[in-house]
Structure 1
Amino acid sequence: MDYQDRDADGVYVDTGHHGPGPDLMGAGTVIGDPVRNLKGEHLGQIREIMLDMRSGAIAYAVMAHGGVFHLGAKLFAVPWQALTLDPAHKGFTLNIDKQRLDEAPGFDPDHWPNMANPAWAAQIHRYYDHSTEQGSGLS
């Protein structure tokens, strides 16, 4: 099921927007969307959206990678700016090789990091080549 299938209210009507996909989307509609790399390889699924409550911006998409039906999956906080909506494939793209993702800082679903910690945020943004932390509100 993709974001268009989860649009029970019919709000994602093409009204001549200027970007890929709709101009606005509900966070719940992207939960479960697939993430692929630029080679088209499946990397994982969006599991959660983390909002920066101070700035109102999306800080991270938490992506599940590996495992079967969320069992044994590792989670990764991917800076929102690192993802690109891919309406053709009803998901997102992330410019990273599978091997580099396997080596990325991740966490166990039962032990989430303190994502508000500036040192943790800087490490994540550096890893995904977004060290400016622009829009994350974390500094």
Structure 2
Amino acid sequence: MSYEDRDPYGIYKSNAQRKSSNSTGTGPGPQLMGADTLIGNDVVSLSEDDLGDIKELMLDMKTGQVAYAVLAFGGFLGMGEKLFAVPFSALRLDTLHKRFVLNVERERLQGAPGFDKSQWPDMADAEWARGVHAYYGSKPYADSMNR
């Protein structure tokens, strides 16, 4: 299911769809998107390998920034899946296929720092954040805000 399928407010309707439904105005998507509509979206690698799906978006309540997307990978029917905090800046939205793309191959993701749903890390810990950002080759959003 894509973000368009989870869009109860018509954020992502095209202008043609709006005209046929007698709706006025244009929505903000995909420049601004609703968090609920992104949860559940698929994530693939650059080589189109399935890497899982987004389970949650973690917001930094001090800055208002999306800090991490929680990616679920592996397992079967939710059993044995591993969770990964992927810096949101490391994801790219593919609006053509309605999914996210992560510049990490499947083998590298399998070795990424992950966690079990019963033991979440302290994502507010600066040391932990540096390690995660280093792994994905992204820059912590807080670094760009301090300039």
- Give the alignment's TM-score, normalised by structure 1: 0.89
What RMSD over aligned residues (CA atoms) do the two structures have, in Å?
A: 1.9
1:39-82 superposed Cα distances (whole Å, 9 cap, x missing partner)? 00000100000001111010000000001122110000000000
1:36 equivalenced with 2:40 (yes/no): no
For residues 98-134 of structure 1, the C-alpha deviation after alignment (integer angstroms, 9 at most, x for no partner) is 110000000001100000000000000000001x312
State percent identity of aligned pairs: 50
Letter in 2 for 1:11: I
User: 2:96, 2:112 → 1: CA distance?
Assistant: 27
Contact 2:67–2:141 (Cα < 8 Å) also in 1: no
Residues 56 and 10 of structure 1, relative CA distance in 2, 3 Å threshold: same
CA contact (8 A) 1:57 1:136 kept: no
Q: Kindly state the Cα deviation for residue 11 of structure 1 after the two structures are TM-superposed.
A: 1.6
- Structure 2 unmatched ranges of 5 or more: 16-28
Flag the structure with more relative contact order, 1 or 2, with Cα contacts below 8 A and sequence separation at least 6: 1
Q: Give me the whole-angstrom Cα distance separating, in 2, the residues matched to 1:71 and 1:52.
A: 29
Structure 2 SS opposite 1:126: helix
Match for residue 51 of structure 1 among 49, 52, 59 = 59
Matched, 1:6 2:14: no
Residue in structure 1 matched with residue 105 of structure 2 by the alignment: 97
Identify which of 120, 128, 137 aligns with 1:112.
Answer: 120
Return 5+ residue gaps in structure 1 as ranges: 16-20
Secondary structure at the counterpart of residue 116 of structure 1: coil
Matching residue of 1:68: 76
Between the aligned partners of 2:68 and 2:61, the Cα distance in structure 1 is: 12
Please identify runs of 4+ aligned residues in structure 1 that moved more than 3 A: 135-139
Q: How many angstroms apart in 2 are the aligned matches of 1:137 and 1:75?
A: 26
Distance (whole Å) between structure 1 residues aligned to residue 35 and residue 67 of structure 2 = 12
Q: Which has the higher helix share?
A: 2
What amino acid maps onto 1:22 in structure 2?
P
What amino acid does structure 1 have at the position aligned with 2:5?
A: D
Aligned to 2:24: none
Does 2:50 correspond to 1:77? no
> Deviation at 1:8?
1.1
Counterpart contact for 2:82–2:114, Cα < 8 Å: yes
State the SS of the aligned residue for 2:114. coil
Alignment TM-score, normalising by the size of structure 2: 0.85
- Are 1:55 and 1:136, in contact at CA under 8 Å, matched by a contact in 2? no
